[in-house]
Structure 1
């Protein structure tokens, strides 16, 4: 994926953190292909080598995690086809709620992702949390299936968001996002760094406490300014408009315009899978 390649050397080091080698991964993939082939409810896509290698990483290379994760991936497509049929049908640079993915990762292999509002688009469009959920899930699906890094650290920038916006959030829709994140997109979230939150912090934390498991809630850190963010995230891994050494948020969002164009076939495939898995699920019930 352009701009986000992980070197083979880094892949080797990442595998070493889980005490596995490349040759062991190849053997495990063959075993998983045989396992998936023997399960008629799993689609052909469950046997693809690239998919299984990513699933091994997301499941920490442990069968007790990997196999349930593979099954949950396709169950989730069936449970929320309304979301998966809409993914990728937008242009990131034209959105109000945007996702900024830093190409530079930390020394312990964390990907830094900023969720924020786009000031230039906010002037002409209203912020829509449902649309932002689609933007987040679209981006997450691409990263999940392509990025070999094992964890993400989020920076949640609430500049421009009011208490009124927070209380417009539909909890049911947010539970969908949490469900997809926990059951399907099994990327480890190492932390949430909250900035620009003084007036709405209490409301945000109240919603987060309802949505998140206690272990995940404990990973939330609210910051009064960027200086304390740098204690958790190296400067070079943040966009330049956050005092970092990566490209600006605007440039990175424009890069994702191109990335989404290259993922057109992938999202067509996801839409077909979601529809098919949903139909199978309905027939069973």
Structure 2
């Protein structure tokens, strides 16, 4: 079943059918069989606090896994539920418009997919200094946006565009480091999205080395090779279809401010808040986990996130 969201703001037409075919899940009964296996596996996990995970969520997790692998899907579900337990301050009940507004950070998915079904995600940072609380609010909004995508969107992976042309880069780096550099990537990995490319746009080349230094702290070698720094938005056109960008970025989509206003309203509906609430119940009871190697093997830096304090 394709997304029921407003296609003018989140169009994933034909993506589901294409992904099912790509992963050999398009034959009659094959998808239901795979999801049934995941349902059976979830029921056997004594440390999961919620056993009635929606089939839609299990299907999306499967389609985001490499090659539609059941084993990879299980690890991704395990990671997400564990992250909710280890980082509870990111998974609360919020009205995005009232509770998570940060005036100088805008981040939205762009409406149309690339020809190979990747979703573009644009983050713009404007002038002004940040607090660590601003970044945590941004992460929380990211959780709400991602949960919406899990419910309504279909895509093969993500392409990130970070517009830092107006940002106070040194202040950003300082505050980002204070929130634990791997926190942002951990959230992305927890939801299982494949990252095809990362494009960072910044005017001042002097700070490029500093940005790369931070990226080396949080990205794997594989992802680091997919990251590029650009001096202007025109350079990004060589890698991303220009028409898919907002009109104020030289593209043909709605302006970034219009997209942001739509998503602030959409993510703040009572329906979506309640949905996120229900999904946040899916966590782990670490006292019931068999073995204690998962956090170290799959999350890294055991215990580090527990000690972080939000200002």
Taking structure 2 as the reference length, the TM-score comes to 0.79
Task: Find the partner of 1:105 among 97, 101, 113.
Answer: 113
Alignment correspondent of 2:123: 115
CA distance in 1, matches of 2:219, 2:94: 24
CA distance in 1, matches of 2:262, 2:113: 17
Task: Find the partner of 2:17 among 5, 12, 19.
Answer: 12
Q: What count of residue pairs does the alignment treat as equivalent?
A: 275
Q: Do the aligned residues in 2 keep the contact of 1:32 with 1:47 (CA within 8 Å)?
A: no
Task: Find the partner of 1:138 among 137, 144, 163.
Answer: 144
Alignment correspondent of 2:155: 149
State the shift of 1:223 in Å: 1.4
CA distance in 1, matches of 2:261, 2:85: 32
Secondary structure of 1:41's match?
coil
Secondary structure of 2:240's match?
coil
Deviations 1:118-157 (Å, cap 9, x if unpaired)? Answer: 56xx5xx856333322233332332234321021101110
Change (3 A) 1:247 1:264: same
CA distance in 1, matches of 2:21, 2:214: 38
**Equivalent runs, 1:68-87 vs 2, <5 Å:** 68-85=75-92
Q: Does 1:179 align with 2:186?
A: yes
Alignment correspondent of 2:103: 95
Change (3 A) 1:65 1:172: same
Q: Do the aligned residues in 2 keep the contact of 1:238 with 1:246 (CA within 8 Å)?
A: yes
Change (3 A) 1:114 1:22: farther
Secondary structure of 2:258's match?
helix
CA distance in 2, matches of 1:5, 1:105: 7
CA distance in 2, matches of 1:181, 1:42: 21
Kindly report the root-mean-square deviation, in angstroms, between the aligned alpha carbons of the 2 structures: 2.5
* Structure 1 or 2: more helix by fraction: 1
Change (3 A) 1:141 1:112: same
Q: Does 1:54 align with 2:60?
A: yes
Alignment correspondent of 2:273: 264
Secondary structure of 2:113's match?
coil
**Equivalent runs, 1:211-230 vs 2, <5 Å:** 211-230=218-237
Secondary structure of 2:162's match?
strand
State the shift of 1:117 in Å: 2.2
State the shift of 1:197 in Å: 4.2
Q: Does 1:200 align with 2:207?
A: yes
Gaps of 5+ in 2: 293-311
CA distance in 2, matches of 1:95, 1:141: 22
State the shift of 1:22 in Å: 5.7
Task: Find the partner of 1:169 among 173, 176, 184.
Answer: 176
Gaps of 5+ in 1: none
Change (3 A) 1:192 1:48: same
State the shift of 1:73 in Å: 1.7
Alignment correspondent of 2:250: 243
